[in-house]
Structure formats: C-alpha cells, structure tokens
Chain A
Amino acid sequence: MTLTPRRPARGGRAVSLALASLSAFALVTACAGPPRQSGDQLPFKLSAGTPAAKGEIDSFSWATYAEPPTLDYIQAFDYPQNTILSNVCESLMRWTPQLTEQPGLAEQATNPDPNTWVFDLRPNVRFHDGGTMTADDVVFSLNRQMDPNNSSAWASVFQNVDSITKTGPLQVTVKLKSPDSQFLQYMATTAGVVASAQGVQAAGKDYGTTGSLDCTGPFKLGTWTKGQSLNLDRFDGYWGTKAKAKQVVFKFLTDSSARTNALLTGDVDGGYLIPSESYAHLRNTSAGTLYFGEGLSTVNVNITNMQGALGDVRVRKALSLALDRSGFVNTGLGGAGTVTTSLTAKAAWSADPNAQAAAFNGLPPTAADIAQATQLVKDAGATGKTLTMATSSIGQDVSLLATAVQSAGARIGLNIQLKTIAPNAFTALFTDPKARDGIDMFPETYYLSITDPMDLLTNFQTGSYQNYSGYSDKSYDDLAKQAIGTYDPAQRLSLEAQLNQKAADQVLWIPVAEWPTSLFLNKRITGAPTTISYLYYPWAADVGAAQ
C-alpha cells in the first residue's frame, strides 16, 4: 500500500512542512566526530497513552499543518484529512490506540473460505443525518473506492476484490480474486469507511467539501471556514461511547513556527506532528506536555536509481555502513528517535515475538564502520564516483539526512552532490518520474497504515508504484505473494521477516531511524492517544478536561 508518499509533508514526513531554520551546521559538527552510540541520544520515552480525561469539556482546539482539500473519504490518505475524518467517519474495522484491530461498524468479520470475507454489521447504527446504516450503505461506500472514475486514493486496497454484495439486511460479502491477508486490516483504515449512500448521492460532486459527510462517527462535521478552521460537533445519536467534548475546532496552521507559537501561547490546545525543531521549546514549557508514541514510521534513504553507482549492492551497503545514524537522530529528529537498520518499525512485528526476532536478527549494526565501507566502495570500483541526492528545506529531518549521507559519502570516497528542490516541488519526487530524473536517492519517511510490515515491504515487488529503482527479483515477488495470501499472523509475519531480511541484504532503501509520533497537549485537556492510530481511530472523542 502506498499510503505515504506525497510530499515529505505527507506520510511521516509531515513534520517537515516546517519553515525550518536549518541548523545544518549542527549536523556537520556531529558528523565530524566519531560515530556516537545510541546512549548518546537525548532522552525520550514513548508513552503508551496520555492520562484519561477527568470530565467533559465544551470545546478544544487542535492544530493541523494544512487544510484538507476535501474530506471525501475516498481521497483521504494524508495526515490533515485523516486526523479530522477519523472522528467523523467510521470503518468496518477499528484500529485501536494500541495499534491492534477490533470490530468497528462490522460486529464481526469471518472468512468461510480464503477468497471470501463476510461482514456482519452492527445493528441500529445511525448516520449523522438521521438514517440507519444498512448493508446497502456498505456496498455503496466500498464500491465508490473501486470505481476508476473516482480515482480513489485507496484503490490499491481493492485491487484483489472481485465483488462486494449484500447478502442480508446487515450482511455484506466481499469476494476476492485470491486470498488477501491485507484486505481485512485495511478495512480498519479510511479504505473501510462507511458513509450513507443517500447522503453521498444527495451531496453529489460537492460531497466532502461542503455540507454533511453523513457518516456514523462520534462527531459530525460542523462549520468549515475555508482557509481558517473546521469545527466538529458532538453527535448525540452515536452508537458508541459519547465524546467528552461538545466541539473540536481544527485550526489550519501551515507555518511550523506559527504552529509552535500557537501551542505555546494556548491559542490552540493541542496537536499531533510537532515539528522536530520545536521539540525543545515544547518540552520546556509550562503550557503543557509533549508526548511521544509509537509511530510505525521509519526514516529512510529511498534508492531511486540502480543504473548508476548504486546499482552495485556493495556501494549501497557501504553508504549504509558509513552513515552516522545517531548524529542524525540527535539533530534531524531533535533526539526523539531510535537508530535502526530495519526498514520496518519494531512494533509492526509485535504480534509475534519469533517473527520479530527473525526480522531483526542479523541486520547490520547501526554504528558506522568507515574502514569496511571504504573497502566496499573500493571493491566495487566506485571510488570517486558521483551520486546525486535530493534535499529540500522542507524540514530538518529531510535536509539533515541529506547532509548526513553526503558526509558519509565523503568519508568513504563517494562524491555525493545535493540537489536542493523547492519544498513545493519535493512532492513531485513521489509522483512524477520526470522529477526523479538524475536523482539517485532522496529522504523518505514511511509510516505503516496497518500494523503489518507488508504495508512497506510491498514496495519492492516488481512494478510496485514506489519501486522507483525498478528492483525486480522473482524470489522476492513470490515470497511477497505468499505472505499476502497467508491469513495466519504468525506464519505471515515469518514470511515477512524473510522479506525484511532480503530488503536489508539488498539495501533496497537505507533505513536510518524509527521516528515516533509526537503529540502536544496543553494543561486544559488530556486523553488523546499517543500512537499513530489517530489517523483512523476517533481519538478526539477521548479528549476531555484535564482537571
């Protein structure tokens, strides 16, 4: 699933939209010293959650780094829209704050045979405009994702779906072309949203941009002042636990320092995706608390060109070996991160400790080994060769990673040129092959939309959208196919562990660090989950008074 990559501002990269005051100097200094051990990093700890709310609250305000262009669920794949939409529209399944799956609008999901998923729907679920959810609404909502004319952001989730039909007043049956272990998991994301068929049809082409979203969530869409703010109002007919706040006001604060200032002064009560350059400020303020939670995100160097020197795996290995990961974490991620050589976050494997061990055992060390790296470059005959890495002032995570790679190259005999791309144009790297012309690699943070490493590992299959370097290996493809078709989690994860190892051996991207979710809550409010679950879980319903 290619949920991540729009601009670095999207996907895990959202932290970036920063008008970063680039302290590139800091990293250069860090890189000049000996490689640091992870013990050197600034202390940060992951919180499982925030204290539960003590009571109801009239209203709280929330910062987002951009205004959603539309809240139509079929287009919602980016942070701002999902952060809002998760409170308004619910899915068949639900991702919990612990990043596990639960029944959502479907009371249960069963598969009588590997090619069939049967969803038994929760009865008496009300839509915001008054209707009651039926199987027809589910069939309609999912079919909208599959209609090519709608160019849904989630279309790839449905690529294996043969048909979606009503098999009872409250039962929907999905027939697959081949077994797909990912499908049910994606039904906990925005891909599985159920909206009222009548509501969507009535809104027509304006659905998602004005009026009601007519979904079932604990909040309904209130006033949307374009360019400024968007209100959600508590939905009194909600089937589940009532939200603690009567109203949530989302404010669109595109400038990262403006966002930080708004949090410091109490102009907004909280926000996710705190710019890393603001961590220190928000850690040391009495206005509130900065939390970190599991983000299922890794910061990587995406290899986009295997025609040049990077076509030799020894050169890729050498670059990975020479990288000062701790230095990058300290400066680029404001100390909040963990060095890694795995493409996928450790927590993605938590369902099976054996698979987790298999995925991580034997991965290269995170500490740099310049001598070995230099030798590898020499062996590959690549000494003195030039490579180009894209960078941008979009955020210090991006620019400082590029600097770190350049510095690593310099120490092992590779000449790495940085190509600075305007923040706005950086997006194009993810979408436009022409924009990647002449570029060998670029920084990319990738988050998983489901608690399954396959969400990232799928990118190295032949012809996969984000397989920019054109990597193709039949054994990888076969293994990936097998993993996707395996429903048993332990079995599947053990296959995925092999994929993770293969991707690491081949250094298909260079993993650098795990990057947690960041969350700031001021003293008025508490209760928001700290994990990346907020993209699909109705987190705002848990937020209430701190006192």
Chain B
Amino acid sequence: MSFLRFALRRLLEMAVTLLGASFVIFGAMYLAPGDPASFLLSGRSASPAALAAINAQYHLNDPFAVRYFRWLGQIAHGDFGRSIEYRTDVSRLLADRLPSTLTLVAMSLLLVLAIGLLLGWVGAVRGGATDSTILVTTTVAVGTPSFVAAVLLQGLFAVRLGWFPTGGTGQGFADTVWHLTLPAVALALYLIGMLARVTRAAMLEQLAGEHVAVARSRGVPERQVIWRHVFRNALGTVLTTAGLIVSTLLICTVLVESAFSIGGIGQLLELATTTKDFPTVQAISLLIVALFMVVNLVVDLLHPLVDPRITLNDRRSAG
C-alpha cells in the first residue's frame, strides 16, 4: 500500500471516529444533571421572560438532534459556539488558552524524551549498581502522581528555596521557560519513569538477541552495536510509548495547571465543567480527542520510518 493511500485512509478513519466522538461528547452533556440556565442565573430568581430569553439565546429548548446537527455545522465553520460562563466565543477562549497548555506539554515532552531515553539507555547498557539506582529512582517517579509532585516541587523549589516562581506562565521565552519549569517537571516525572523503564526493557530484550551476539562476534564496535542493533530496534516500542505519553500529558495538564495557576485549557476544562458551560466543555473534549488522534496518526506514520521491518499493512492490522 502506498504511503499516500495509507495516510488518506487513516485520515478518513479519523474523521469517522471524530464524528462518533462528537456524538458521545454532545450526548454526555445531556445525561449530566444540572441545568445551564440555572447556572446562568446563578442564585437569582428569574422572571419567566428572562428564562425564556436565556433558553432562546442558547437554544436550550430545541430537540437533541436539532442541537447536535447545528453544533456540528457550526464546528465545520470553526465556530464552537458561545461560552455560557464567559459570554464570549469559545474559539477565542481556546485561542487564548491553548498556547500555555501546548508550551507546557511541549516542555514536558522534551524532558520526558531526553531524560527518559537517557535513563533507560544507561540502565540497560551499564547494568549493575547504575541500573539498580535508575530502577529505584524510576519506580519512585512512576509512583508519584503529578499533583503530588506539584505540591512537593512548589514547596521546595518555589517557597523554600525561591528558585522558581510559584505559578503563572511569564512573558517572553526565557521567562516562560523559567515559569513553566516546575510544572513541566511535575507533569513529566511519572512519564520519565515510565519511558525509562520501557526503553530499558526494550533495549535489554534486543541486547539478549542473537543479532547482537552476531554483530559483536563480527567485531562491530560496541557503540555501533548499541546504536544500530539495539537502540534502533527498540525504537518502535519507544515510539508507541511516546504517542501514549503525549496523550497522557494532554490529559494530565488539568491536574498541574490548577496547582501552578497556569490558565491553560486544562484549567478551563475544570472550570467549565463546574459551571455547566456546555459549549466550552464540548469544544475542549473534542479538541483533546482530535489531538489524541493526530498524535496516534503521527506515530503510525513514523513507525515504518524508524523500523523498516514494519510495513504499513502490518501497522494497520496491528494498530
């Protein structure tokens, strides 16, 4: 199958899945208890006229199907509706807040890839006491939820030592990096541990393989053995894990953004859920699902590139 056909097919699948997800997301808001109109009025008695005005404004009285298809149609035009709580277009809310979240996720991902791969590699190659140390450290990391890490990091490095700010995102590149370091570490910690362990296991498996013994017996330099025959072969597993990591990062920002007062989409999702802000919750949910799928697609497309043994067809049946 040609690469193009494969990509097209995956895109089509994505579109269908997104459509299904949109239905579930839109429908789920109906099953949740609570009435957006009552939140809008927030503790005030409303005249029937006011209630009618709100219901008309947000089309709260239309049947489900009508509202669902209107919503889909709007999204097709890039219009996610108007936030009930913020009284502004949801697309603008997202545009305002997405950069913070994406920067945070990007910084965390860099940390996870750099440190996770390094630790896994070193553990597998060095063995012995180094490996044991890494194993223990990564076990602790994997056992530390990001919100706990957030509290610990903030208490030590922001309050006690004063090296970093307690929260916020800062302005300009250097300031942003400085502000986002602690939250990025809090978010990355668990995943660093996970990636390190996956990398280590995958490399150990390769190290035990016959091809490595053959290469070594042929006198291939150890550095080349590790790079070509061990790491590259292990990369497939690592890549799959990396895809999972990006998705996890997107979801876990909710936990860290509040702790560090980063007004990204994670925090927005939390607040919007609180206030029954339907349009906002729906848009963010759909956005996360879409990002999730894009990441998966990229991983699938990269797979044959890093591991020539895998053909596009294999990937389809496998994934």
Contact = CB atoms under 8 A, between A and B. Distances in A.
Interface of A: 2, 4-7, 10, 19, 66-67, 69-70, 72, 75, 77, 148-149, 151, 153, 155-156, 205-206, 208-210, 225-229, 251-255, 257-259, 261-262, 264-265, 267, 423-425, 427-428, 430-432, 434-435, 464-466
A255 B87 contact: no
B261 A427 contact: no
Contacts, number: 150
A209 B88 CA distance: 7
A435 B34 contact: yes
Contact of A70 (B42, B87, B261, B274): B87
Interface string B38-76: 111111111101100110000000000000000000000
B92 to A, nearest CB: 8
A255 B168 CA distance: 12
Nearest to A253: B261
Contacts of B158: 261, 265
Contacts of B38: 428, 431-432
Contact of B33 (A209, A252, A261, A434): A434
Interface string B11-45: 00000000000000000000001110011111111
Contact of A255 (B155, B162, B258): B258
Contacts of B151: 257
A424 B97 CA distance: 21
A113 B108 CA distance: 68
A5 B43 contact: yes
B256 to A, nearest CB: 10
B166 A267 contact: yes
| Residue among A67, A423, A464 having the largest count of chain B Cβ atoms under 10 Å | A67
Contacts of A66: 271
Interface residues of B, number: 51
Interface of B: 33-35, 38-47, 49-50, 53-54, 83, 85-88, 93, 96-97, 100, 151, 154-155, 158-159, 162, 165-169, 258-264, 267-268, 270-271, 273-275
Given A148-B47, A227-B97, A262-B167, 15 more contacts: A6-B43, A77-B43, A155-B44, A155-B47, A225-B96, A227-B96, A227-B263, A252-B261, A258-B259, A258-B260, A261-B167, A265-B166, A431-B43, A432-B35, A432-B39
Nearest to A68: B86
A251 B261 contact: yes
A390 B155 CA distance: 32
Given A208-B87, A229-B168, A252-B261, A265 B162 contact: yes
Contacts of B33: 428, 434-435
**What 8 pairs across the A-B complex have the smallest Cβ distances?**
A227-B263, A226-B96, A424-B274, A465-B45, A148-B49, A5-B43, A261-B166, A148-B50
